[in-house]
A = this chain, B = another copy of it.
């Protein structure tokens, strides 16, 4: 049985949506138990469920928060959920749909980095042209700046993630850059390239460009958090823009509407492949337990998937594997 701590407050669409996701996930997966944190009245719906423990909290972490203010909000659902995950050996992971900044701060201060991990990275599997294949990108926004050594740490973490979650025995690893030639990129890219090359890092293939990220030929792409965040959001924006343009094409007249009916299935599969909600959110990789940050505007479906990501991460044995790898390295 996998036990998860869940913060149910502070998301854009409110706790009702998240609750629905939790309930559906409990129905689907009998192997999961949850401790939910939030305002008691809002969580009443889950009361009495055999696999649910409800913890009443009074505060909610706002979307924008400094580390100091986060720590002061001692009775916030987010801080309590992370604390429970840190202190209760039985709780294997924490899931939240609240403030990303707050969650990253909280996990780093309370769950703490695994020994030897110099920087935890926010990670997401990106959909690619090959619907069978996800590309692991990190960091996508836990930090703004990263050193070359931190990028090397991300390469290690991402490689293990790809191995344990996607079953790649020897994942290919790339550094995101503004060109593929030696010397290209930020100075930290150049530093990281030197370290990875010198130590013959397993699977390291050199630099890749932003236009290659979705081609399905890369297992792990490592980037500083700021550039990773720009990358993630520009992909999201472009997909959205093209989806809207496509809708306009099909809405034009009777014939184009008929055409839509003929390709509806294929378009559905395509948009499902690109659907970020299906991916369940980002993972803070490098802290001592499983930490999943679902999108701020998660609906029940997205939150259901976030819980499933957390469950699968616990089952995969990734965290013990990271601990072992970094212990040996340190």
Contacts and interface: CB of A to CB of B under 8 A. Distances in A.
Contacts of A141: 178
A1 interface: no
Interface stretch (A3-11, A193-201, A241-249, A282-290): A241-249
B178 A226 contact: yes
A151 B231 CA distance: 20
A176 B273 contact: no
A251 to B, nearest CB: 9
Contacts of A260: 259
Contacts of A215: 237, 241
Contacts of A242: 238-239, 242, 270, 274
Interface size, A (range): 35 or more
B211 A240 contact: yes
Say whether chain A's binding surface is mostly helix, strand, loop, or mixed: helix
Number of copies: 2
A233 interface: yes
Given A64-B181, A186-B144, A214-B238, A245 B263 contact: no
A267 interface: yes
A321 interface: no
A76 to B, nearest CB: 19
B227 A230 contact: yes
A212 B233 CA distance: 8
A112 to B, nearest CB: 24
Interface in A71-111: none
Contacts of A129: 241, 244-245
Interface string A263-274: 100110110011
Contacts of A178: 141, 144, 225-226, 229-230, 233
A210 interface: yes
A52 interface: no
Contact of A233 (B210, B226, B236, B237): B210
A137 to B, nearest CB: 11
B231 A211 contact: no
A50 interface: no
8 contacts: A210-B233, A226-B227, A238-B239, A242-B242, A246-B246, A256-B266, A258-B259, A259-B263
The 3 closest A-B pairs by CB, nearest first: A211-B237, A249-B266, A210-B233
